[in-house]
Amino acid sequence: MACIESDGTLSHSAQAILRLAEEETPAEALARLLGRPLYTVRSSLRELEAAGLVSSSAGGYTVTPAGRARAEGAPAGESTS
């Protein structure tokens, strides 16, 4: 199941991931907080990272400024900064 629809709409789980990843957060912690299987969360994180909405590091995932704007309701391609 895609977390970003073809029209750019974010799924509820994608929006939740963006809200939870304000600080560097491991995928395992996100899965636990969301109550979702780890493989599902990792798949969503890969999709969000490819779209530039989260970034990854050794410690986990962090929402990017573009991801923060999308989580706050800005349409795809727009930024609130």
Please check whether residue 44 is in contact with residue 13, taking contact to mean a CB–CB distance below 8 angstroms. yes
Tokens matching residue 4: 């970003």
Model's pTM, two decimal places? 0.86
- Chain-centroid distance, C-alpha 69: 12
Out of 2.40.220.10, 1.10.3720.10, 1.10.10.10, 3.40.50.2300, which CATH number does the structure's domain 12-68 have? 1.10.10.10
What residue ranges do the domains of the chain occupy? 12-68
Amino acid at 40: T
Please check whether residue 75 is in contact with residue 67, taking contact to mean a CB–CB distance below 8 angstroms. no
- What is the predicted pLDDT for the residue at 80? 43
Residue owning tokens 């969503």: 44
Per-residue pLDDT reduced to its tens digit, 18-62: 999 999 999 999 999 999 999 999 999 999 999 999 999 999 999
Segment (H or E) for 19: helix 12-20
